[in-house]
Amino acid sequence: MKRIIIDGGQEISGTIKISGAKNSIVALLPASILTNGKCVIKNVPDISDVRILLEMLEYLGSVVSFEDETIIIDNSNVQNKDITEEFASQLRASYYFMGSMIAKFHHAKIAFPGGCVIGSRPIDIHLDSFRKMGIKIEEKVNEFIMDVDKLEGNYLYLNFPSVGATINIILASVLAEGKTIIENAAKEPEIANIASFLNSMGARIFGAGTSKIIIEGVKELKDGFVEVIPDRIEAGTYLIIGALLGNNLKIENVIESHIDSMLYKLKEAGVKYKSCGNSIEISRAKELKPINIKTTVYPGFPTDLGQPISTFLTQCNGECLFEETIYENRLRHIPHLNAMGANIKVFDNKALVIGKTPLHGRKVKATDLRAGASMLVAGLIADGRTEICNIEHLLRGYERIVDKLSSVGVKIELIDLPE
């Protein structure tokens, strides 16, 4: 079992380079099987989700190499095989094989996806949309069996702008007959990144990154190339850390417009930062004003930064209201923050954070990926030593996090203990 030990309170300075976005690469890899050609994907983060997806691709017959942040995939021998529970349960993004396999083979058998336990996380919007494209789906105890004779484009209005459903529909429709229109599509930047990869292969996707996406089906796809966009959630997490402990901490490889909502909120709290090209330099503020945060779909404040920002709110002078609107179970980290000295009252999906409270190091648990990030930020600002267990979750989403933080002056250590 992996743990992180942090001796908190250190001022941090230097440069942290942001890696490629987890939520892009986990869709780009399943998307790659849509072509029989060769794919080159640059700026790939070396995180466990990527390693699992590469294993899945190899299982399907792809020949892959991963060196110097670049993945090269040769899909000339990809076969249609069942995606078993052993693979699918390891990560949420395994469900992107539903879209790509049904498009390529017109048949797919896929076990239910895994992922962080942050709510019920149904996939009804994916399934309804697939059905409207002519796909028959049999839902067994723990797997989906999907078949289609003729995959047809359709007009699809999403009841909620789901990121996963938007990407899955794009994957299913690029080789379909006719036109697919996704209305009320998710607008997250990762979706435009996936579309740009598919378009490089010859797909015809228009409007990705807006709420109306049009896909004109093509007969086949050729070689593909893409560079993974910088991870806006990783960047946001390091900005929070910089706002609490930074002394001219430089966060490099950031697309500022992707994290406007975060920067706006930090500014409102009194944090100062300087942008220069693709970097942001940030320093701790002496006094933080209270702010309210409500998570929502892009370009709103991202739910994936809700947990780390809640730790920041404990250091604001006054009352901050935090509201999570995307998932029903994303406040499970709050008892751990309170155990470290925070004063947070939870009611439904809202939390009233009363600050400023000093935090004290102790043993805590990362209940999911972004809860791990919240605990990490807490450990960094706490006095004394913090030990975070169940850290596997955190390592799924943040590439080389211990090295990156050590390089800017944090006393942090990763310990791998036998179970």
Query: Binding-site residue total for ligand UD1 (CB under 6 A)?
Result: 21
Residues 247-276 that bind ligand UD1 (CB under 6 A): none
Rounded CA gap, 343 and 353, in Å?
A: 6
Stretch that binds ligand UD1, among 75-83, 115-123, 266-274, 335-343 (CB under 6 A): 115-123
Q: Which of 39, 116, 316, 320 is catalytic?
A: 116
**CA–CA distance, 166 with 188 (Å, rounded to integer):** 10
Does 348 engage in binding with ligand UD1 (CB under 6 A)? no
Structure tokens at 51: 């390693």
Residue 195 interacts with ligand UD1 (CB under 6 A): yes or no:
no
Between 125 and 313, name the residue whose CB sits nearer to ligand UD1. 125
Question: 119 or 299, CB closer to ligand UD1?
Answer: 119
- Residue number closest to ligand UD1, CB atom: 164
Residue 301 interacting with ligand UD1 (CB under 6 A): no
Q: In DSSP terms, which residues pair with 71 in a beta bridge?
A: 41, 66
Give the binding range for ligand UD1 (CB under 6 A) out of 51-59, 104-112, 121-129, 146-154: 121-129
Q: CB 312 → ligand UD1: shortest distance, Å?
A: 18
Token duo for residue 410: 């944090």
As measured in angstroms, the least distance from the Cβ of 240 to ligand UD1 is: 17
For the question of residue 316 being annotated catalytic, the response is no
Q: How far apart are CA 303 and CA 5, in angstroms?
A: 26
Give 94 or 315: the residue with its C-beta nearer to ligand UD1: 94
Alpha carbon distance 96, 34 (integer Å):
11
The DSSP call for residue 113 is P
Alpha carbon separation from 233 to 82, 306, 307, 324, 387 (Å, rounded): 32, 10, 11, 16, 23
Is residue 307 a contact residue for ligand UD1 (CB under 6 A)? Answer: no
The residue from 33, 195, 280, 326 that contacts ligand UD1 (CB under 6 A) is 326
Judge contact between 373 and 394, C-beta under 8 A.
yes
Contact status: 164 vs ligand UD1 (CB under 6 A): yes
Cα 280 from Cα 239, distance rounded (Å): 8
Contact track, ligand UD1, 23-62, x by CB under 6 A: x--x------------------------------------
Residues in Cβ contact with 277 at an 8 Å cutoff, skipping those fewer than 6 apart:
none
Q: How far apart are CA 185 and CA 167, in angstroms?
A: 9
Shortest Å, Cβ 22 to ligand UD1: 7
For residues 250 and 14, is the Cβ–Cβ distance under 8 A? yes
> Could you count the other beta carbons within 10 Å of the beta carbon of residue 10?
16
| Beta carbon of residue 162, minimum distance to ligand UD1 (angstroms, whole number) | 3
List b or e across 240-272, with b for residues whose CB sees 16 or more CB atoms inside 10 angstroms: bbbbbbbeebbbbbbebebbebbbebbeebbbe
CB 311 within 8 A of CB 374: yes
CB of 21 to ligand UD1, least distance (A): 9
Residues facing residue 275 across a β-bridge: 280
Q: Which amino acid would we find at residue 71?
A: I
- The pattern of x and - marking residues 142 through 161 that bind ligand UD1 according to CB under 6 A reads ------------------x-
User: Looking at 18, 52, 110, 125, which residue binds ligand UD1 (CB under 6 A)?
Assistant: 125
Angle at 338 between CA 336 and CA 342, to 5 degrees: 130
What is the closest distance, in whole angstroms, from the C-beta atom of residue 146 to ligand UD1 in the complex? 15
In this chain, which stretch among 144-152, 162-170, 278-286, 334-342 interacts with ligand UD1, using CB under 6 A? 162-170
Q: CB of residue 173 vs ligand UD1: minimum separation in angstroms? A: 16
- Tell me which residues are annotated as active site: 116
Residues in contact with ligand UD1 by CB under 6 A are: 23, 26, 92-93, 119, 121-126, 160, 162-165, 186, 303-304, 326-327
